[in-house]
Structure 1
């Protein structure tokens, strides 16, 4: 052991390389007399000894992981974790650990908290907050297992990915482990001794939840939020926002349990005013003792306040400034911190293509996709993205996109951050904390890089889409025999799909092309042709005939016409039919069935909420399509004008002529507008084609994952195959290295958690420090007149039909104006019936908006609270030219 002890009391844990950042922070708190639960630290020397006895060359393996990619890296890291977990603690380490545990005060301790303390976390430049796991509620008998899990966590893909992004893989990290008695928390949370968004720096920010703080740290619950101000040595609560709370984690006699919160307490403040003032004063005292602003984790139990962690507040990766440079009245106020806490989060974009609460597998994949397929490109352009700033956050089971992050990227590249919310949809003002534009030479270089990527994408997209179709056909044939494939072969195919999508996905370049065209036209046209430029442009974008997702609308109409003219089919689609299970038998030999099967061949991989792997597709569950056809057939479908596309083409041509007329002889304007229009229309077509073909990947993944679910059911590790969607993407990848794990207890807990999430009411927008957390206020002049973003053109008068769930689709009749939360592209077949469309959330470039605009369906999006203000049956005047909705009593 030499002079490097294996075990230390927490109070003596002050040597960073030996005990890691978290232990040093707690050791300093104890040294300054702050209340910290007693505990011990199993040092990095113990970790080194375990690796030596287990035969793991940590340095060589770490360097190998830094060079490897994809499946090779995953396999290497999994092998390192397996080596760590399969060996027990070294005898000497175990003996010293037991001795030190007996010295911990507080008498008999039933439950322990086991926390990581890595040498790469809680430093000034990289806090790595939340990167490694904390294990709560372990008995003394199970502490060894918990320790091994913490050491293995050092080799997780998430940790390695983070260090690669932050350029720190050259340093081989080590892991110490903290063991402390569990606190029976009444309330817990985090505290920032300087509010990251307050330029005066006299506010303390406190987030609090009932019970244990683990759900808050994990980002799975929205906390009560408080701002506490200091003025003249006196503290007062400046602002507060109380969330509705339904569940809390508690420490009981049987360990950590989840409890329901009664209605009377659901909207009660987690903390009293006295506790808030005590917390704020303590946080500022810790700041003075440490010499820099701090981020604290804390808890209250029956005895009072305890501090569980202290780390510096990081700002864009810079060292924390000394406290005396950040006091009120300073001539150089601290630059506001850009992090997850100060970001605006929106459900826009994600809500459009996912169910209300998507599967855990899909939510975890989404986080990886945004990092690998979107942010990677921005980094290549030279944009600065702090490692602590993430693109996705899951709240109550619902993914939110970081609007502030994408506004910051737009600002760095010299664009208008306001474009983010207009194109994406949703609400939210532009952040005041955005970074400055990159140096001009970097912006110019980025422009050339983006243009090159767009042109390459336009050139290669048709070939890429054809390859996807061929790959999907091959995998569909294989899927019939997946039951005979070994688990490793299924996992390799999953990894292969991920690698293909990561290396060849065109989404970034296509979206860049669409945004480029729209930005040029949005800058040029208002001053050149007048205030109605948007209406003219929307009209000029309809009826292109190249939007693949919109073609299914015309196809559904055609199928309804076929059924109307074929007696046996018309008889089958009687108005009262709701059971479609026998449609293939009853319609055998009909022209309709032949054409319907051809439709499924092309569009059967699409569906409502289609970005979720767990969602059945049209081919799996054609009831929705058959219902739309039935409703169409009994709505005078034979009177449908045959020249719909011709009328749309004429409207488009007239709009283009009007734009050219208003531009007159300004040839430079005309040339630029023509180029931007062509770029926009081409990339809009590619955007929907890209989604159409990428959804084949979703189906291929779904088939493979369900095959793994069948395997786990056969091994009695799951009860039903669909439960496999309760696992995360990383857990799926680990099935090959941990084949004997019984997933049923974890799935049971996650199923219960999902039920809680489904019952919760979650806003579409989460903003930092807003006084109230609401779904948004009605826009427009009054509840009788609502306004939003014009998506398409045209005016329509008709009855409202609220669509809150898939069950509501059954009742849609011809001419209804649909009121929807978002424009799910899976609703496209329903557009054949609709007279108009109103969406609570949506942007000009969302998938559903592109389809509605192409079809020429009068559509207005971003009409806040439309589902609360409008009732089914209300008579509406929908003016998509002005983006206005009027209720007619």
Structure 2
């Protein structure tokens, strides 16, 4: 039987599979395609009939060797004698099931290793990932032919879409490209350059050149490897104008020949563009599309991004979700079960949809309905932003629930009285434990010992997380109770008074980094060399080379700062995210902002002024209360202040333990990559915690792990383009692209820190990339956590798309005394840097002034 079909020979998709059949069509149409052949589905069936052994059937191997010899000896000068071995399943690259990232590809395969590579490709067709994909999209079980071609020694490579993959606009061609092989682009290893081109004219409508840190190149001994991109090329466009024009013309020819919008992979070598493969752009997912790690949910359950996405903002990697999911649910369940406010021990409080984490508002409303002092309406305001004005008083006592209150109130009171002591005990117990763990040399531990340490730390994460939820619940109860007390006596002024009473507390942990960064800036002001180094591209290295006494003191203080706060960062609960300890330049970027501030902007002075205002507001309230009311007010105020500080303290402790887990996974990723099990240390974040254990203990093969990683990286990039609502019932409906821009002159949210200020906006998406903010500017952010709060010392006001009155950013904004409005939802999209805005922290409004 003939098991080989050359690309210039006739062959049906049933023999060649979808990918090879498409490549044969491209070659027949006169398009530049690397030479090659296909090992047909008949060969796959013969291998399957033999029980899927780890070698090829003898007759298949003989034909394959002959074909490889002919291909590699053809003397084609523009190609290298290494091969690309790609899957080509019968249903692969079809309009409804692309199988992108599901089946294995091997690049840079030496001729003598082709047989083993073919077996790997065939084995991948029956791996768990493709099986799940088959079930999800309703495709047939893949019969895998194998496409084998000469490798293009690519100078640059990428993907061209003949319709916008996000909006679906058929009049545009979108091109993504980077240096080296296309693996860097399609596997999501690099942020590629992007061009948007008018399909009809070839006119460039938009271009974005990225910092391309990594290049994937051929390894002369076989395979590929990742190398740092030369500095002079990192920010250079990967495609010259004449090459981009070639890509556009070829993409239009491919679409015209195949009759539908195409997803085209290409490579550039010696000034010529080669088409590697083309497939129809897979139809937009149906309404029932489910991402791999999506949670199950009832259709009536209400979910929100508020609060939880301060801890886990943006997309969450599979490793982080698998490590945090049960810990978070345990953290919520434990205090609520102890107080009797939760009746279902299996209630789910957190879920993930499309790599984003959401909080169960329905569960929190049920808990609130069983406790005096709070209410479901209070949950709505804190998490959904549904403000209940003075004309809509909230019910904090429901007579119908009297038997429930009789049962839960003694438990809640006992729990609240005990929690501050629990926090102190936890801090005392963990201080020496964490110091010992921080000092431990992880590189000296065996892989088994690292897994044991991971389990030990996981137990601590669970318990500290539960303590944080307990203090957060206490803060919520007393914050709400204080507000209701003030509303009955001061009406609409209650919000302003409450905010003024919960500020200037001095011991709010999350405000402390700003104090120490100020001291670093004070030192820098005294040494011109330090100031100059802070303006450089790599201030950490430049300051390390300075020899002045002040530079030595600066380094010493910075080292102390990193020992104390190095576990904090932007996206600090995401295990893949770099912390301040790992990225000191992020800290130094924040220090740079402080250098030009006047002495009166010192955070200790700011907090003292806030404390003076708090004392004045306290006197104002007490003077208008009778003796009994005054005692109740003092109790509620004392407890609200205490629990707000405890909330921030336990959050920091939680993140400190989480950072130790991160360090263990960093070490595991490094070891597995050095051993060749993973292609890159960062790949570990695209496995689950259980899979990491299986990989270490040889229960999961390296090939299967790599397949899952590639598939999940591709899905992660797809989900990056998905837009989800802030809150919803049941499963969210994923949308692509941006919604139509609003013409509203006033944006509304929740007022969380009083005051009114007008100034130019500074829109910052990620302070690690955009650390600069100038005095007098209004900080506009998608979400805030500990990595953002030092910016608050410079900002004149704060606008945040996500958040509530007890959000991390809200607490620190009150502590620093800047007007703030959160839960605005669309500010990042609608406000432009430099645009004049007015932040009204009394009314919860952001006024957008006309530009120009």
Q: TM-score, normalised by structure 1?
A: 0.60
Who is 1:630 aligned against?
592
Residue correspondence of structure 1 range 351-430 to structure 2 within 5 A: 351-380=309-338, 381=340, 383-385=342-344, 390-413=348-371, 415-424=374-383
Distance in 2, matches of 1:769 and 1:726, equals 23
Decide which of 840, 843, 849 is 2:804's aligned counterpart: 843
2:759 aligns to what SS in structure 1? strand
Who is 1:715 aligned against?
675
Superimposed CA distance per residue, residues 672-718 of structure 1 (whole angstroms, 9 cap, x where no aligned partner): 22111111110111111111112111111011112222232233211
Superimposed CA distance per residue, residues 346-388 of structure 1 (whole angstroms, 9 cap, x where no aligned partner): 222232133421221112222111222212443442634495x
Residue 617 (structure 2) pairs with residue 727 (structure 1): no
2:593 aligns to what SS in structure 1? helix
2:333–2:342 Cα contact (<8 Å) kept: no
Q: Tell me the CA shift for residue 255 of structure 1.
A: 9.9
Residue 660 (structure 2) pairs with residue 700 (structure 1): yes
Distance in 2, matches of 1:265 and 1:722, equals 27
Aligned pair in 2 of structure 1 residues 727, 184: CA closer, same or farther (>3 Å)? closer
Residue 385 (structure 2) pairs with residue 495 (structure 1): no
Residue 417 (structure 2) pairs with residue 455 (structure 1): yes
Who is 2:487 aligned against?
526
The answer for unaligned runs of 5 or more in structure 2 is 1-13, 18-43, 53-89, 98-127, 147-158, 169-295, 393-397
Residue 639 (structure 2) pairs with residue 679 (structure 1): yes
Superimposed CA distance per residue, residues 645-665 of structure 1 (whole angstroms, 9 cap, x where no aligned partner): 331111111111122233x32
Distance in 2, matches of 1:468 and 1:888, equals 51
Decide which of 432, 446, 470 is 1:470's aligned counterpart: 432
Distance in 1, matches of 2:16 and 2:415, equals 59
Aligned pair in 2 of structure 1 residues 382, 538: CA closer, same or farther (>3 Å)? closer
1:342 aligns to what SS in structure 2? coil
1:628 aligns to what SS in structure 2? helix
Aligned pair in 2 of structure 1 residues 382, 109: CA closer, same or farther (>3 Å)? farther
Q: Tell me the CA shift for residue 520 of structure 1.
A: 1.4
Q: Tell me the CA shift for residue 511 of structure 1.
A: 1.7
Who is 1:599 aligned against?
561
Who is 1:614 aligned against?
576
Q: Tell me the CA shift for residue 843 of structure 1.
A: 0.7
Distance in 2, matches of 1:470 and 1:778, equals 54
Residue correspondence of structure 1 range 102-117 to structure 2 within 5 A: none
Who is 1:283 aligned against?
none
2:761 aligns to what SS in structure 1? strand
2:306 aligns to what SS in structure 1? coil
Decide which of 745, 749, 752 is 1:784's aligned counterpart: 745
Distance in 1, matches of 2:707 and 2:92, equals 25
Q: Tell me the CA shift for residue 736 of structure 1.
A: 5.3
Superimposed CA distance per residue, residues 362-421 of structure 1 (whole angstroms, 9 cap, x where no aligned partner): 12222111222212443442634495x633332221112222222233234464212224
1:778–1:865 Cα contact (<8 Å) kept: no
Residue correspondence of structure 1 range 295-310 to structure 2 within 5 A: none
2:779 aligns to what SS in structure 1? strand
Aligned pair in 2 of structure 1 residues 551, 267: CA closer, same or farther (>3 Å)? closer
2:381–2:387 Cα contact (<8 Å) kept: no
Residue 546 (structure 2) pairs with residue 586 (structure 1): yes
Who is 2:144 aligned against?
254
Who is 1:888 aligned against?
849
Q: Tell me the CA shift for residue 443 of structure 1.
A: 3.5
Residue 301 (structure 2) pairs with residue 343 (structure 1): yes
2:804–2:810 Cα contact (<8 Å) kept: yes
Decide which of 709, 713, 720 is 1:751's aligned counterpart: 713
Aligned pair in 2 of structure 1 residues 706, 578: CA closer, same or farther (>3 Å)? closer
Residue correspondence of structure 1 range 72-471 to structure 2 within 5 A: 253-254=143-144, 339-380=297-338, 381=340, 383-385=342-344, 390-413=348-371, 415-424=374-383, 440-471=402-433
Residue 618 (structure 2) pairs with residue 656 (structure 1): yes
- Number of aligned residue pairs: 593
1:643 aligns to what SS in structure 2? helix
1:426–1:841 Cα contact (<8 Å) kept: no
Aligned pair in 2 of structure 1 residues 248, 709: CA closer, same or farther (>3 Å)? farther
2:818 aligns to what SS in structure 1? coil
Superimposed CA distance per residue, residues 472-501 of structure 1 (whole angstroms, 9 cap, x where no aligned partner): 2211221x2x23322221111111122233
1:710 aligns to what SS in structure 2? helix
1:791 aligns to what SS in structure 2? strand
Distance in 2, matches of 1:537 and 1:842, equals 17
Superimposed CA distance per residue, residues 785-838 of structure 1 (whole angstroms, 9 cap, x where no aligned partner): 222111112222211011123465233212210111112221111112111110
Who is 2:27 aligned against?
none
Residue correspondence of structure 1 range 5-20 to structure 2 within 5 A: none
1:609–1:824 Cα contact (<8 Å) kept: yes
Q: Tell me the CA shift for residue 776 of structure 1.
A: 11
Who is 1:549 aligned against?
510
2:762–2:779 Cα contact (<8 Å) kept: yes
Aligned pair in 2 of structure 1 residues 356, 142: CA closer, same or farther (>3 Å)? farther
Decide which of 722, 726, 729 is 1:764's aligned counterpart: 726
1:719 aligns to what SS in structure 2? coil
2:722–2:734 Cα contact (<8 Å) kept: no
1:383 aligns to what SS in structure 2? coil
2:691–2:700 Cα contact (<8 Å) kept: no
Aligned pair in 2 of structure 1 residues 385, 550: CA closer, same or farther (>3 Å)? same
Distance in 1, matches of 2:531 and 2:559, equals 17
Distance in 2, matches of 1:423 and 1:520, equals 13
The answer for unaligned runs of 5 or more in structure 1 is 1-107, 112-137, 147-180, 189-213, 224-246, 269-337, 431-435
Distance in 1, matches of 2:378 and 2:313, equals 26
Q: Tell me the CA shift for residue 442 of structure 1.
A: 4.1
Distance in 1, matches of 2:732 and 2:656, equals 41
2:166–2:736 Cα contact (<8 Å) kept: no
Distance in 1, matches of 2:787 and 2:384, equals 18
Q: Tell me the CA shift for residue 633 of structure 1.
A: 1.3
Q: Tell me the CA shift for residue 545 of structure 1.
A: 0.3
Q: Tell me the CA shift for residue 467 of structure 1.
A: 2.9
Distance in 2, matches of 1:344 and 1:627, equals 39
Who is 1:668 aligned against?
628
Distance in 2, matches of 1:661 and 1:775, equals 55
1:860–1:880 Cα contact (<8 Å) kept: yes
Q: Tell me the CA shift for residue 631 of structure 1.
A: 2.6
Who is 2:172 aligned against?
none
Distance in 2, matches of 1:785 and 1:731, equals 49
1:818 aligns to what SS in structure 2? strand
1:810 aligns to what SS in structure 2? coil
Q: TM-score, normalised by structure 2?
A: 0.62
1:791–1:853 Cα contact (<8 Å) kept: yes
Distance in 2, matches of 1:264 and 1:626, equals 39
1:454–1:512 Cα contact (<8 Å) kept: no
Decide which of 831, 848, 851 is 2:792's aligned counterpart: 831
Who is 1:157 aligned against?
none
1:494–1:701 Cα contact (<8 Å) kept: yes
Aligned pair in 2 of structure 1 residues 339, 398: CA closer, same or farther (>3 Å)? closer
Who is 2:270 aligned against?
none
Aligned pair in 2 of structure 1 residues 490, 763: CA closer, same or farther (>3 Å)? same
